Structure 1
Amino acid sequence: MDGPVGPSEPGRRRRRPAISCVLCRRRKLRCDRQKPCSNCARSRNGTCIYEDGLSPVHGKGNATASGSVAAAEQLVTPPDSDACYNSPSTIRADRVANLTELISPGRSSHESATARSENESTLPYHATVAEIESLRRRIRQLEKDLPTSTRGPAQSHSAHPPNPAAPNLAPPNPAPPNPAPPNPASTGKYTELDSRFIGNPTYIVRDTPLSDIGHLVPSSIIHKQRMCGQSYWMTCMFSHIQEILDPTRPRPEMSKVFHGLQRCKSLARVIKAHRRPPWPTPLTLDLPSKDLADELVNCYLRTSESVYRVLHVPSFRRDYEELWMPGSSPDKSVVVQVKLVLALGAAVYDEQFSLRASAIRWVYESNTWLADPAYKSRLNIRHLQNMILLLLAQETVCVKADMVWISAGSLLRMAMFMGLHRDPARLLKVSTRAAEMRRRLWNTILEISVQLSMRAGQTPLLSLDDFDTAPPDNFNDEQLSSDEPVPKPDSEFTQVSIARAMRKTLPLRLAIVKYLNGLGSSATYEETLRYDTELRAATRTLHHSMEIWKSNVGNSLSHYAEKLVIFIMNRYFLALHIPFFNAATHENNRTAYAYSRKVVVEATLKTWCLIFPQSSILSEHDKTTPNDLAQLALNGARFFYTTAFQAVFYIAIELKTQLKEEVSLGPVPLRKDLLSVLQEAKEWSIVSVRNGETNIRGCLLTAMATAYVDGLMRGLNTEELALVLIKAAEETEEQCLPILESMVAEFQAYDMPDSLDPSPESGCSQVLEDWKFSMVDTLFDFGSAQPIDWTTQFEPGYQPDFDSY
């Protein structure tokens, strides 16, 4: 039959071309045929498409690949408003239908018409579910293909945020409810660093930059599954370490250095495994001889107890003497307290730290006993004292020293649970001795929390509004045994004078730690200078007080306490100004931040003189024999050791900056005191390894930094500088390797393989496996470094290396 073709027949063609835009025709609206038309303009729709400009929607022609991709970019971009249509979902469905036909031009008009006819009653979008799913799959493929076709070679990680004007190629389907965590290396906030010498992937984070130099200063770093803020000693050093190591990256000779480093690391694991007793370590009554124990107690009282008041010394001595009485059955809490005191005293007993293994065992025994979950029966002052001593011992003896900040949170909450954050005058009436002990312990807990937060690069999670406990009164311990003691004036030195003086600076130091490590803080140089002014005023007050105490007849101010106060205050100056010191090393900022550069150099020199009192930069009158503070740093106490290494490294950075910024025909004059510090630090770090430090990275980086400065002074090119750095690293490893091997040989004399428990719990199976040196190049291959995955599940038996820094 020859008749007109019905509108439902697939062979029907339009007699005249469509002149309205695609969306107006689909919505049955009058189109003014502008680009964009008035309807699309009112709806803020940028996808006004006419059939004559692209492949026809109902035709059989094929658009080019570039035309399809361009249309896909436009159609998928959601509008800001959909004022001229009923709902956003309908508009989105129209775009889906159009985009399906644009990116699938091979579909015949018959198939399209049939699909629309079958679904008109159920889908107002004029598209089938299959078409939408096909569209989604196609868009995902476009997302993968577009970056490679529109961008050039891969760029390095940038600190700039993504461009908001870039086309949004996200698929229309919603995101999954629990998306995977972002890859740190895939965003502009992270910069991966060379992990060959660090041993772990490390990222600089700039999500909360300083307001004026944020592109130069990291706000935190991600290292060893930890995130540390600006006050962490290595946060601002990593980029300088990478700059020093850069000349060695393409050199094949570095494989020998990596092999030696891995061999030293494997030896260190064996040494630490032999020192580490099995866990749990039951508490025993075994104590050293009485004479040795007396000496260790005296070492503790003249060092740690002179600053961090924990014990009532007369009561402690009474309990201590009862331990040695025949037939005595002491309380286990007393035994724990004595062993922790002995461990702290052992760190300064001799230069070689010969009692290191015993001190580690005492700490493990105490930790095992304190880990008993029967807390209700232990809510007392002695238990709180033991928890404080355990934290101090872990920091000093290097037992999980990097994790002490976590335990400090438990200590703080335990004290608050016992009410120490409220002043005893506001509680039930107690004796003067009980009230003063509560104030002393709370004061020590505050000091430990702030200091560990500074070292760990974390916030103290504490504010001045959380407590109202007053500082301890100026009493000697013997006075607290009387009924109505009278506190001494501030000008008279007592056993609590140092603690009281440091308490006056606590609000300022707490504010500085929060300023440096707080979440979302936006620091400015003006604010840093304000804190610097207040810190200098507080330091002058401390200095004035100590001068008064030393002038009094019969004063008992210990040399250790005096030096420790200076050391702590210098650490805050370094933390405040190091971010701006880094900015001052760039040419555009040398003048603006010259003051910070000067402060950092002065503070590093003072720190080094405290750590190394025989330094040649001191006058003959000021030179002294090794003191307790210098001994703690040499024996690896983490607060002192890491600060010393930080000071030395920034002296090397200062020398490097001076050499690079001076342009002259003759030799560049450098400060001899800074050069001498680098040479002394090389020898000092080797002595530290002889005293039992098992991590040689400090020695290695100190030697390479010294060689780097020396190479710049000699005017070496990059090739020659790389050879000098490699030679310095090899020589350092040749010095350290025999020292570590001799330590292992001593353990082998005691039948080391039998003494090591190869069970997964002890971690020694990994140690014995590392002894084979089977993974020399893999651990330090920069090319294979992977970003940190926060969801990684460790295998059974995994034991992190807490003793390394």
Structure 2
Amino acid sequence: MESQRKRPRPVVSCLRCREKKLKCDRVAPCQNCVKGGYEAECTYHQQPDAVDPHSQPKPKRAKIAEAIEPGTLWMGPSIGIIEDLQQRVLKLESLHAVGPHANNYGPIRDASVQNSWPRPEISQSSSSYLGTLVVKGSRSRYHGQNDRITLLNQFAEAKTFINQSLNNPSLVGLAKEVQFLQNKSQTPNESPESLSGIESFPELQSLLGSLPSKTVCDQLLLVYTQNLEKNLRILHIPSFLACYNAFWATSDHETSFLSMFVPLLTVVLSISVITETAPPSPEYSPSWDYLEQHAVGAVHAWMQKLPRKPRTDISTLQVRSLLLLARQLRQVSLDELWKESGSLVRSAMVMGLHVNLSQSKSLSPFQAECRRRLWVSIVEMDLQTAIAAGMPVMTPALDLSPLTPSNLNDVDFDESTTELPLSRPMDEETDSLAQITLAQSLALRIRTMNLVQHTNPEESIEERLRHGQQIEESLQMIPPPLKLYDSDNSDPAFVLNRVILDVHIRRPLLSLYRPVLASLPPDDPSFLEIQRASLDSSIAILAYQDTFDPNIFDLDIPNINSYWNIFHTFCQNDIILAALTVCEYLKFINQQTSIHSSFNEFSFQNNNNQQNQNNTINPYPTNHTLSHNKASLTRLVENTIDSLTRRIGKKGTNMKDILLLSVVLQSVRARGPTEQKDRRMSHGAKKALSACRQNLLSAANESIFAFHFNDPNPLSNYESPDVVLPPNVSAQLNQPSPSMPDLLQQSASLAAEFDTFQSDLFTFDDGSFMWNI
């Protein structure tokens, strides 16, 4: 009976459906590959007389051959020597083709790796890169497409005004005061490079000696399990808690197993302390200060001293992953985070986390599942860091589907599990549902960012539209338990994780469409769709600010300020870019209104009919934008500026972001003459700087300097701008900015430091900003 079943059957399904054991509709590409975003990988087994399923032949992409078992003889088709040599040369040329990650991996691996980066022909007129290169003497720095320098080029009037602001003594003096106060309000973190170079064992003893008491650890560990391990799954919580209990149950912490647990516990506590505002009692304040300021640097220094073998341990990779998250929460520069995430990806690949080991017996089901969770988390962090830094994704183009974790709770499996239980349905909330939801669109989002980095916006409109529509479908496919507005749960940890999940999916969409909007003519048929999608995502991101704003949120919820700070830490760049996208739409509305207002009603109607026939645009093209008129969008950006201003004393808040938004908003609001626009931009800049100074002086008066000022409201003479500035307001704005005599008179050294303080808020070189170079 068994021999009768082994009859030869033709392969009619695509190779991916056959591998996944899915029902294939046998078209090219099939429906399963379209849903999964693998259209380019949908290929069929070629029989000698088979007909190509594609209507038009397309060149197949090179695919690296899988490793062959030693001692296995592979019998290829019978071909001549010349034909064999020609095929070998073609294969070598495809394998050695120049690509962004050509040297990141070797020729043999189990997961299918495809050379899927687009290589369009680059015209001579196209730019070699999307960002801006700034050179200052022997130093140079590349700013990606999401940096202020590159974005400012889209607003010519605002750029000219800011570049000329050095000639405005009132603005320069006000900016000097703001930057001086901001520098005084922030405590610098300890740099790992300042730690003394000692061996790994003494450093481990130092970490052990600095570990807080069990009371503090218990509290912070509870904070971690309640707030983290949702979108990113780095630890298996029951196993970690078992190690934690074993650690405190024994007095001998110098054994190999327990000693390696100390750095992992330390970095977990250093993450938790960010979301917890105060220690359980004043006697634990030194431990709190250590975790906030020194623990991350100490763990990083310990990591640098590890020998070769411990570096390949899974716990070491977990420490590095958590260390990257801890450094992000501490506002480490984006270029440093991008370099660290790329190094983390390469370290994970060295350990083989990118390899599909589902059929391997060398790893237990528990180990394999934990490795899949950790790998997907590392890739997600690499993608998000690359987007924020405006740099390429370091993860190569892999087939992530066999490496996606199962939808299981942590209690569903442990070290003794011999076979993983079946994955739960996607409409059932589990400990891993958020990560799996992100993982389903992870390959699509990586391909999207590769498209952004390696193609010209003007030459890839259709492909960008296709990727953007697939990302929007991913947003619609978020399971009901993870949708923010479908739940009555107001717990800030629940809300924060749902918001971050949504923003993570939207980021590639905005990066995909933003350069297109800047270069695409409004009469292009694709303009409306791109503008609608960009505006929708921008408004959604800006609306999330109210979710954690202490002025709006329920004050009875503890630590709401911490969640507000964490939201801005993770989404600061998204907020700025979303606000600028709204400003770009306001600019578009003004331009279209100016065009239409130049005609009388009769000619306008005739022209409008003609425009409809020519597929040209309307100032309010969709029903969605009709619900968000100019006034509501202007208020949305103003609220964003106000929110950023109230956080000016927090680490990571940049005055240049506030100044940029304030000037750009005023530049796009009015349609009057240039002189009136200049007055509005000047007023907006002064208003923003004055509001920042007021917040910084209030913070200095309350907690930093403990000084008292005679004028508690230095903004009493400033009013909100109208479309036409009254003469008395214009006269007030031309007066010298109020100084800080009450503050500086309290300390001669402080006054001397202010006199020598150099402000760089308006520094420019060759017409370009020198943003923190």
**Interval containing the TM-score (normalised by the shorter chain):** 0.5 to 0.7
Which letter maps to 1:659?
Answer: N
- How far off its partner does 1:633 sit? 5.9
CA distance in 2, matches of 1:604, 1:351: 34
Structure 1 window deviating more from structure 2 (651-660 vs 232-241): it is 232-241
Deviations 1:267-325 (Å, cap 9, x if unpaired)?
Answer: 54555564436721754333455455434333332333111111010121233344555
User: 468, 485, 490: which is aligned to 2:425?
Assistant: 490
CA distance in 2, matches of 1:556, 1:248: 39
Deviations 1:647-676 (Å, cap 9, x if unpaired)?
Answer: 12222232233224313499x994332122
CA distance in 1, matches of 2:548, 2:147: 24
Structure 1 residues 302-341: aligned runs within 5 Å: 302-324=226-248, 327-329=251-253, 331-341=258-268
Matched, 1:684 2:615: no
Asked whether the 8 Å contact 1:614–1:625 carries over to 2, the reply is no
Q: Which runs of 5+ in 1 are unaligned?
A: 1-207, 749-766, 789-800
Asked whether the 8 Å contact 1:648–1:681 carries over to 2, the reply is yes
CA distance in 1, matches of 2:243, 2:706: 36
Aligned counterpart, 2:408: 475
Aligned counterpart, 2:609: none
Deviations 1:133-186 (Å, cap 9, x if unpaired)?
Answer: xxxxxxxxxxxxxxxxxxxxxxxxxxxxxxxxxxxxxxxxxxxxxxxxxxxxxx
User: 571, 578, 589: which is aligned to 1:640?
Assistant: 571
SS in 1 for 2:407: coil
Matched, 1:538 2:463: no
Aligned counterpart, 1:221: 132
CA distance in 2, matches of 1:233, 1:248: 16
Aligned counterpart, 2:655: 696
Which letter maps to 1:483?
Answer: T
Matched, 1:606 2:540: yes
CA distance in 2, matches of 1:256, 1:590: 44
SS in 1 for 2:132: strand
SS in 1 for 2:421: coil
User: 576, 583, 586: which is aligned to 1:655?
Assistant: 586
Which letter maps to 1:346?
Answer: V
CA distance in 1, matches of 2:563, 2:672: 34
Asked whether the 8 Å contact 1:512–1:531 carries over to 2, the reply is yes
Structure 1 residues 373-772: aligned runs within 5 Å: 373-465=306-398, 470-481=403-414, 482-484=416-418, 485-491=420-426, 492-518=428-454, 523-543=459-479, 546=482, 558-583=494-519, 589=523, 593-613=527-547, 634-635=565-566, 638-663=569-594, 664=597, 670-693=629-652, 695-709=654-668, 717-738=676-697, 741=700, 745=704, 771=753
Deviations 1:717-768 (Å, cap 9, x if unpaired)?
Answer: 24423542443244234225425755994599xxxxxxxxxxxxxxxxxx99
Structure 1 window deviating more from structure 2 (636-645 vs 607-616): it is 607-616
SS in 1 for 2:513: helix
CA distance in 1, matches of 2:484, 2:576: 33
Asked whether the 8 Å contact 1:560–1:629 carries over to 2, the reply is no
Are the structure 2 counterparts of residues 650 and 556 from structure 1 closer, same or farther at C-alpha, using a change threshold of 3 Å? Answer: closer
Matched, 1:237 2:237: no
CA distance in 2, matches of 1:446, 1:627: 33
Matched, 1:254 2:163: no
CA-atom RMSD in angstroms: 4.7
SS in 1 for 2:210: coil
- How far off its partner does 1:339 sit? 2.2
User: 749, 756, 759: which is aligned to 1:774?
Assistant: 756
Asked whether the 8 Å contact 1:216–1:583 carries over to 2, the reply is no
SS in 1 for 2:367: helix
SS in 2 for 1:222: strand
User: 302, 305, 313: which is aligned to 1:369?
Assistant: 302
- How far off its partner does 1:388 sit? 0.5
Asked whether the 8 Å contact 1:422–1:469 carries over to 2, the reply is no
- How far off its partner does 1:583 sit? 3.2
- How far off its partner does 1:468 sit? 8.2
SS in 1 for 2:406: coil
Aligned counterpart, 2:195: 280
- How far off its partner does 1:447 sit? 1.5
- How far off its partner does 1:235 sit? 6.6
Asked whether the 8 Å contact 2:158–2:667 carries over to 1, the reply is yes
Deviations 1:516-573 (Å, cap 9, x if unpaired)?
Answer: 11277874211111111221222222245746998999x9994333322211122222
Are the structure 2 counterparts of residues 536 and 710 from structure 1 closer, same or farther at C-alpha, using a change threshold of 3 Å? Answer: closer
CA distance in 2, matches of 1:498, 1:676: 33
Deviations 1:688-737 (Å, cap 9, x if unpaired)?
Answer: 22444453222332333344455558996244235424432442342254
Are the structure 2 counterparts of residues 732 and 537 from structure 1 closer, same or farther at C-alpha, using a change threshold of 3 Å? Answer: same
- How far off its partner does 1:258 sit? 3.0
Structure 1 residues 115-264: aligned runs within 5 Å: 219-223=130-134, 225-230=140-145, 232=146, 234=148, 236-240=150-154, 243-247=157-161, 249-250=163-164, 254-264=168-178
Which letter maps to 1:774?
Answer: T
Which letter maps to 2:638?
Answer: Q
- How far off its partner does 1:387 sit? 0.7
SS in 1 for 2:393: coil
Which letter maps to 1:227?
Answer: Y
Asked whether the 8 Å contact 2:331–2:652 carries over to 1, the reply is no
Are the structure 2 counterparts of residues 317 and 458 from structure 1 closer, same or farther at C-alpha, using a change threshold of 3 Å? Answer: same
Q: Which runs of 5+ in 2 are unaligned?
A: 1-118, 197-202, 280-284, 601-618, 620-627, 708-748
Q: For this pair of structures, how many residues does the alignment match?
A: 557
Structure 1 window deviating more from structure 2 (268-277 vs 628-637): it is 628-637
SS in 1 for 2:648: helix
SS in 2 for 1:563: helix
CA distance in 2, matches of 1:735, 1:288: 38
SS in 2 for 1:308: coil
SS in 2 for 1:776: coil
Asked whether the 8 Å contact 2:659–2:685 carries over to 1, the reply is no
Asked whether the 8 Å contact 1:415–1:421 carries over to 2, the reply is yes
SS in 1 for 2:302: helix
So what's the TM-score if we normalise by structure 1?
Answer: 0.60
Asked whether the 8 Å contact 1:229–1:517 carries over to 2, the reply is no
Aligned counterpart, 2:80: none
Percent of matched pairs sharing the same residue:
19
Asked whether the 8 Å contact 2:235–2:318 carries over to 1, the reply is yes
SS in 1 for 2:417: coil
Are the structure 2 counterparts of residues 556 and 269 from structure 1 closer, same or farther at C-alpha, using a change threshold of 3 Å? Answer: closer
Asked whether the 8 Å contact 1:704–1:728 carries over to 2, the reply is no
Which one has the largest radius of gyration? 1
CA distance in 2, matches of 1:716, 1:607: 34
CA distance in 2, matches of 1:771, 1:301: 45
Asked whether the 8 Å contact 2:236–2:370 carries over to 1, the reply is yes
Are the structure 2 counterparts of residues 402 and 267 from structure 1 closer, same or farther at C-alpha, using a change threshold of 3 Å? Answer: farther
Matched, 1:301 2:301: no
Are the structure 2 counterparts of residues 375 and 730 from structure 1 closer, same or farther at C-alpha, using a change threshold of 3 Å? Answer: same
Asked whether the 8 Å contact 2:646–2:692 carries over to 1, the reply is no
CA distance in 2, matches of 1:570, 1:629: 25
Which letter maps to 2:676?
Answer: N
